[in-house]
Structure 1
């Protein structure tokens, strides 16, 4: 039986963590072939940890108290950089000692470095040589920018990677370019593997008749027509511009309301913009929803004005439920998912007027709208779990056998 170590910073609430759990569920189905261990470098939040298959063992680099202290040090770094950095480095050293012990005692056939955060497997690779094939996931363009911004660190650790796994073709192109820059394109294999979606679970959650918007005394999703946006309300998600776009669409006479699901540091600014534009009765902030699927199923369109993505799961969920997408062609993900505009409206970055016109056209041209709806089943086959499962297992076998 092959032994696989999956290393991840922490099971916090996030997109990469959801994808990790999906891949762990796949590995759990092959427990007769793979002995899988998940090493979480920090013991905090542990969001959805109960969904990890029982066959997968879980260990931690830091205790819960140590993990919270690490975050405290990082958050207060500006107050006394030397003091708090010394404590942060102490946490790194403890994790590295635990990794050294684990890698000495266990004989892994593959290590999956799934994500980087305050602590990451790269800290260990910088100081230690590993005689096991290591593959690293790349979840977004921001990671590539970080790699380029630290030329004394990342080229050194990248020499120990057998492969880099990108989650979109556009992202793979950026990774290929980076590997060329650091002269590792012949040594480190670059591959693309889409994030899987559990289509059965998505449809099941879409039928849940609770957690919706209180309308007419019934706690359910509204039957009135609406447009939808779901995101973490940060500046990079650019929901403020979407409110401006909606104001123009409303002026053009559309009847659909705009529902905004999410929360974040931009929430006060978004609320203020809605009030400023007099849209309080039409642009509704619903806050965070643990299950936005019923809204995705009933929405007329899913709108996205983000400035940066990885492979946005919310796109895939909305499209799986039959809702067409209008999105800026930000790096990376929308171009892959919408296949350069074949499966949805892909708008060049910054062309707000084009975004407005295309959205209005879809809302007022039934034949065009139905054209996109009819293509969605074809679009989604690429991301279904059964498709990605086979590719994921092939990828694992490829890197294990490559070292044999």
Structure 2
């Protein structure tokens, strides 16, 4: 196993982290015995960063039971505060205390604001006193490092980064999200400020392995050296020196063994020009199904009416290049579940954006299509549920 250093506290973090969202199930519950075998194999191979969250059903408790069997000192726990449930200052302590009980520990090394997608959400938490609460927890040693996980555009990401003295951050990043969400721009921005960057969705939940178009699979299959699509995808991320840890939701011993093998020799700046050309061919194959030729450059922004145009287009394209589910998930998470929503239906057809688009995209017309296709009955139900349970 290789390690990359957290420049803030000199922690040596395994470049492969264990994502605890996708444990195998036995019926409707997590298969504890199977999960423990897989986690033990990972720890024995040198994985020392485990990522979970309050809202990952049963995950914190599963991890806590495992760590209590003699593994706690070998692992750094990362878990997340469901800040969207926080209505008063006392809620922070209540949720955190419950998390410690689930995890069977008295401290968490890496603690995140879960899905902190816009600056307004952080300002709301600040008004509730969260900065004082964090300071007290860090002083007591109950929290080692404070960070946030993020789904949204690069502009909001940088605003959040600049709003507080964060210790680390977590973003979605893979060869298909190079110019979407926080993207390479956000990755480099955070790293330049000395923040460790933790990567989630490196293979888009396995879809960059199992759901690739046949043509894309054929490109990888014919490439030299011979590597699986998963290995190509992971090596692309570790090729970036700004990346600290790549999370993988491993739920099979074979996955653990393959990922550990790759993590044993994948280094930054190791991919050749020929290797990088392979990714361009794969992306071209996937992007043949794109609906809008948006590059995510952001020249169309800011929208005077609050639409996050690049993010809307990215989610819309994902629906057709990946899957209906992943596109809708991205759209809801990145535009709607915000203090101030940025979805396509907010467009007022003013046309200001089109004057600055280097791709000459008919943005107003395309946003109409996005609103029509993405703000469908599934979207409306998800939005209603979110409002009902008090998110944002």
Q: TM-score, normalised to structure 1's length?
A: 0.31
The structure with the largest alpha-carbon Rg is 1
